[in-house]
Chain A
Amino acid sequence: MKISGSYELALPPARAYTILQDPAILARCMPGCDHLNRIGETEDGHVAYEMKMKMAISSVQGLFAGTVKLADPNEPSSFRLIVEGSGKIGFMKGEGVLTFVESGAGTDVRYEGEVNVGGVIAGVGQRLLDVTAKHIIKKFFGKVVGAAGEME
């Protein structure tokens, strides 16, 4: 499933770039995320974090454990975000490039990537997968916008 979109942050690109690389901010903004623990750099040079997430949309709930990796840093214009998680209801891997483009006083954060899911959620959630992915991304950026606002 391809995903793409953009969000306006009221911060200059360099700040926007920094906060989206900040594990504390990422952990706060990822819906249902408990924490991100740095597990160091992977062999291919990615900064990697261990994560635990409790996803909940309406009655649907799932615990996911996995990793968040930040790769291909190109400060302040882009980096690659790789999120992998798995739990009893399935597993997901999302990979996308975040691009930071100056837009007036703020930054236009664009994302483009692909999400693959497996397990029960892939087999029975087809009808709501796309809309749910968008919902989660919307929530994430909503919180990032909030976090950015606090930092202004």
Chain B
Amino acid sequence: MSTTISVTEKLVGKSVRRREDPRLITGTATYVDDLKLPGMHHACILRSPHAAAKIRSIDISAAQSHPGVVAVFTGPDVAGVGPVPCGASLPGLRVPHHAILATGRVYYVGHAVAVVVATDRYVAADALDLIEVDYEPTAAVADPEKALEPGAPAVHPEWPDNVSFTYHQEGGEPEKAFAEAEVVVKQRITSQRLVPMPMETRGCVAEYHAAEKSLTLWSSTQIPHLLRTLVGQMLGLIENRVRVITPEVGGGFGCKLNVYAEEALTSFVAMKIGKPVKWIESRRENFLCTIHGRGHVDYYEIAAKRDGTVLGLRLKLIQDLGAYQQLLTPAIPTLSVLMMPGLYKFRNISADIVGVFTNCVPTDAYRGAGRPEATHGVERMMDLLAVELKMDPAEIRLKNFIGNDEFPYATATGLSYDSGDYAAPLKKALDLVNYRELREDQRKAREQGRLMGIGISTYGELCAFGPSPATPAGGWESATVKIDPSGKVTVLTGASPHGQGEETTFAQIAADELGVPIDDVIVLHGDTAIVQYGIGTFGSRGTAVGGAALYFALKDLRAKIKKFGEMMLESDDVTFSGGVCTCNKTGNTVSLAQIAGMSYRAMRLPVNEEPGMQATRFWEPPNFAFPFGAHIAVTEIDRETGHVAVSRYVAVDDCGNIINPLLVAGQVHGGVAQGLGQSLWEQAVYDDTGQLITGELMDYAVPKATMMPWIETAHTTTPSPVNPLGVKGVGEAGTIGCSPAVVNSVVDALSPPGVRHIDMPMTPEKVWKVLEGARA
């Protein structure tokens, strides 16, 4: 006869408020720039104003003798430091040598030329003005299509065609599909360069202990362990003598999923001068020398039958790489190819990527990284096909979705979609907007001469990066759970949350699994001296991979706890639940604290068990997870000015099981904000000479709260079979689902005068001109 055990209320699935927020809101969080070390010096970096130039000479003498300046270094001084690494590999990939300071030539505006170290940041900034660089400007090219033209200036003189790589992927029989198609629709679609724009710019502090030959590097990064390995290699340091710490990180969006020249440079400088050195990126530098996102010119062709059945999709993808390969630069467009079929039964696929060098800052992962571009392409093409066939955009999607009984579904691009009910979120979104009535409203609006549009996007994502064979540097994640002698729980995750809220969600998971109050759990991350090796946070993987690793570590601990419980209760019929082990025969209990205490005192141990209460798991995901959803945007265009107003926005996302609905909503909102940014406002524009002319927030329009529409969110739930939590990932969903919904909506609004397509950002002038062109 068992006694009733009070089971702690389950936290998973509840909108637990973020435990991170009190310190963030009250301004007590510690970011890199808050660090103050004794004797700390400050570095400022001189950057090229030219997109392409030879460096004839650099005169640093005046800067060196400026009071307060400790040292000035230029390219030749850092020749011994290894190049900035590119972690992606493709057959025939051309990887230019990426020195941490320009030597001989500069390749883009913002290219680091010299570093000044001084007693304070103001002195260092003043001294930059005293460095005289004699540049010989050479011709530059900033547009990837122009870079491919014969006779274009060569970004890297050794590769005059500006091609870094070409990549072909094919599935099924695309030639045959297009030959047999009853209808083929073609469209050039661009996805402009974007600045990721975290609130906190990059920055680092390096401290070198010469006696131990050990380096501590605080950096605002998404990947502390990979940074440790790679920066150690660059500097020739022994890996276990490098410690990387990520203090609070104020957003990354992919731009801190990288190893940057400045991280090695700041460390190099600290080693040289024997003092701690801080470098904080200015917003201006963030524009110029932190990676940009997107940068696609895509040529799509879709083949279909007249009844709307899709047959094939062809893509020629021109990827603007910028001047160098950063950590994952060339891999990003390959993700676009993998996801190009979207949620549809495209059996025949052909894609050709050309990776092109330009005299611009490198592109790399930015929220969605390759998948927003793919989704934008396929979702635009589905709408173009619907227009061509005079079909409803919802109908053509429902007709071509992969069926619920077809999972796991092998795509023509070689992926295995884990699980899905693709019609469900679309139907839910259509219900939420009262689609039929909405179309009727639209008909009436058109009669009144108004330009009202309804745009649908149904997206699929490749998330939870990822199985290691498909992910550079490994795609597993790690977790350690330690229970103190007092029964308090510490989670160490190899993931590196920087705004996602895993200090909350992981505590929810641990609290549930161990049956302890959430306040008994702390989650630590981002210090390589404390946390076991990990991969990091990106690609919507934190919970789907890191959370799964945590789950398995908790499972191991539960088993150990139970064994201790059995020993202490002298019974083999014991249940561990609600934070106590209970003997099912006697009803006697021992608490987690008693068990943990016993495990450390170790006066007695269960057979084959070690002392202590700690478990570590490295979990390798067998597959990616594939979230999906449907977004609907209703827009109204000001006929006179071309201004686009989003009057309604509905996002129905299926990210599998939800750990914390509040945080999921936050991720969707933030993602949609960035999707709207790309759709309507944001663009990193380089002029013909390679000057970034949107180099400040006065010209680069990030969405502000007042510019946002109300976002209605809803969910369907299709658990992923890939991980034990059944989660799929949600960090990028909003961004991926958004832009096609908005563009489809605007094109729908403009369709009466005959507009077929419009590229992003849909600024008022662009929309107005398209409208004028259609009227003419």
Contacts and interface: CB of A to CB of B under 8 A. Distances in A.
A119 to B, nearest CB: 4
B709 interface: no
Interface residues on B, range: 10 to 19
B49 A90 contact: yes
A88 B129 contact: yes
Given A88-B129, A126-B693, A120 B49 contact: yes
A123 B129 contact: no
Among A117, A120, A122, residue most surrounded by chain B Cβ atoms (within 10 Å) = A122
| Interface of B (DSSP majority class) | loop
Contacts of B288: 123
B696 A91 contact: no
A116 B689 contact: yes
Interface string B685-697: 0010101111110
Given A124-B284, A126-B694, A118 B699 contact: no
A15 B50 CA distance: 40
Among A88, A120, A126, residue most surrounded by chain B Cβ atoms (within 10 Å) = A126
Nearest to A119: B49
Given A90-B49, A127-B698, A122 B687 contact: yes
B698 A118 contact: no
B109 interface: yes
A144 to B, nearest CB: 29
Contact of B695 (A88, A91, A116, A124): A124
A123 B692 contact: yes
Contacts of A126: 693-695, 698-699
Interface string A120-147: 1011101100000000000000000000
B49 to A, nearest CB: 4
Interface in A66-91: 88, 90-91
Contact of B109 (A88, A116, A123): A123
A118 B129 contact: no
Interface in B678-726: 687, 689, 691-696, 698-699
Interface string B25-56: 00000000000000000000000011100000
Contacts of A127: 698-699
A90 B50 CA distance: 9
A76 B698 CA distance: 45
A124 B129 contact: no
Interface string A95-130: 000000000000000000000111110111011000
A118 B687 CA distance: 10
A123 to B, nearest CB: 3
Contacts of B284: 120, 123-124
Nearest to A117: B691
Nearest to A123: B695
Contact of B696 (A116, A117, A123): A123
Contacts of B691: 117-119, 122-123
B102 to A, nearest CB: 16
Contacts of A122: 687, 691-693, 695
B287 to A, nearest CB: 7
A119 B687 CA distance: 12
A91 B50 CA distance: 9
Contacts of B109: 118, 123
Among A118, A120, A127, residue most surrounded by chain B Cβ atoms (within 10 Å) = A118
A88 B63 CA distance: 14
Interface in B634-690: 687, 689
B132 to A, nearest CB: 11
A124 B282 CA distance: 13
Nearest to B685: A126
A124 B692 CA distance: 9
Contact of B49 (A91, A116, A124): A91
Nearest to A86: B49
Contact of A124 (B50, B51, B687, B698): B698
A128 to B, nearest CB: 9
Contacts of A88: 129
Interface string B125-146: 0000100000000000000000
A126 B697 CA distance: 11
Contacts of A123: 109, 284, 287-288, 691-693, 695-696
Interface string B49-71: 11100000000000000000000
A119 B106 CA distance: 14
B696 A124 contact: yes
Contacts of B49: 90-91, 118-120
A87 to B, nearest CB: 10
Nearest to B288: A123
Contacts of B695: 122-124, 126
Interface in B269-325: 284, 287-288
Contacts of B51: 118
Nearest to B693: A126
A118 B695 CA distance: 11
A13 B288 CA distance: 47
A78 B527 CA distance: 69
Interface string A12-23: 000000000000
Given A118-B109, A118-B689, 18 more contacts: A88-B129, A90-B49, A91-B49, A116-B687, A116-B689, A118-B50, A119-B49, A120-B284, A122-B693, A122-B695, A123-B287, A123-B692, A123-B693, A123-B696, A124-B696, A126-B693, A126-B694, A126-B695
10 contacts: A88-B129, A117-B691, A119-B49, A122-B687, A122-B691, A123-B288, A123-B693, A124-B698, A126-B694, A126-B698
Report, nearest first, the 8 A-B pairs whose CB atoms are least far apart: A123-B695, A119-B49, A122-B691, A124-B696, A126-B699, A126-B693, A118-B691, A118-B49
Interface of B: 49-51, 109, 129, 284, 287-288, 687, 689, 691-696, 698-699
Interface of A: 88, 90-91, 116-120, 122-124, 126-127
